[in-house]
Amino acid sequence: MDIDLETFRAETRAWLEENCPPAMRTPMRSEKDATWGGRNPVFAHPDQKLWMDRMGARGWTVPDWPSEYGGGGLSPAETKILREEMARLKCRNPLNSFGISMLGPALLKYGTEAQKLEHLPRIARGEMRWCQGYSEPNAGSDLAGLQASAEDAGDHYIVNGQKVWTSYADQADWIFCLVRTDKTSKQGGISFVLFDMASEGVSTKPILLISGNSPFCETFFDNVKVPKANRVHDENKGWDVAKYLLGHEREMISGMGLASRGEDPLIESARRGVDPILRAQIALFEVRSKAFSAMSERFIDELKAGRAHPAQPSMMKYYGTELNKARHELLMAAGGSDTLEWESEASNHGAAPRAWLRTKANSIEGGTSEIQLNIIAKRILDLPS
């Protein structure tokens, strides 16, 4: 290995060992242990904030972003080493953020310098929590059919309409949102705007899921005033931003199917010698998971080098989704009747069945599996429409 990279690995390992609190090296028990930051952050443990702040100050919540925008300025090889060392120590992700996984890459490509300087450092430090305003009641799979409108009012737009399946809208500070600015063109009449969820005329309503949790919301806009300075890219060119962002969203969702670390309860079940048929199924799953992990690493390298096929995120999203569903099916099978328990502290209030039920949404969010298969068929396999 390059001597500079060896030095970087040694320094990174030392820094992580000194700065990652022990509580942040333990498996997450539930979604409540995830760190989202924002203007009104909620931490299940005080070390979550400590870990987020330490990583944010170093730019390592977004290690490969430019340092002038709050990132770590690391090369792809250094970023990979950082992730490997975090995995070795079993460090938790310091910050969950749609700003990092979706909006940030889109702003880096399409945002103005003022927009980058205003938003990216705050995203990197976990100071602002974002939600996504894409799907509508009659425009989900056919996203370009959206109707939420932005009427020109001089130096600002007046936004009206409704979004649905808006993840964590009731807890987000800002929204990145697709709006219609030209009714005469479907894909060519959409703009991409950013605005504060505290703006007058914005309201949200949670949607309760079968799992008992409610990450999704309906979101309503009633004459919301949005400065034109908050539009990303040209007016009516928002579809370009939307497609680019969707690629990163699908990459994020596909990550749920990545190979797990040593503390994986599936591995522990296999070691305990569960039913031999189930043990074989777990072994097969692990082989597929590790193959997907290797494929994902290659894809990320190609994406950062600008060589990834435009349809590759669809392929990753589809297979990652199927893997994640298979993983939770196996966890339910390995746990037996105990995993049917729903309320007690012993079962962590039904964490296993709630997580299993949550995976059912993986086939819908970020574009349905049928949409992904259509994209793969047309753009990779060159099959007729």
Q: Which residue, 312, 206, 248, 251, is CA-closest to 107? A: 248
For residue 224, list its beta bridge partners.
159
Report the distance separating Cα 295 and Cα 316, nearest Å: 9
Instruction: Give every CB contact of residue 236 below 8 A, 6+ residues apart in sequence.
Output: 181, 182, 185, 188, 189, 190, 191
Crossing angle (nearest 10°) for helices 312-335 and 369-379: 140
Partners of 196 in the beta sheet?
A: 174
Give the separation between CA 294 and CA 299, rounded to whole angstroms.
9
CA atoms within 13 A on the CB side of 330: 25
Token pair 């899921």 is found at 209
* CA 11 from centroid of its chain's CA atoms: 29
- How crowded is residue 234: how many other Cβ atoms within 10 Å of its Cβ? 12
Amino acid at 198: A
Cβ proximity of 21 and 10 under 8 Å: no
Q: What tokens appear for 201 in the block?
A: 């005329």
Q: Is 112 helix (H, G, I), strand (E, B) or coil?
A: coil
Catalytic annotation, residues: 249
CB atoms within 10 A of CB 284: 12
Q: How far apart are CA 238 and CA 371, in angstroms?
A: 20
Q: Is 136 left (phi over 0), alpha (psi -120 to 50) or beta?
A: beta
Contacts of 96 (CB under 8 A, 6+ apart): 34, 35, 36
45 neighbors 33 (Cβ within 8 angstroms)? yes
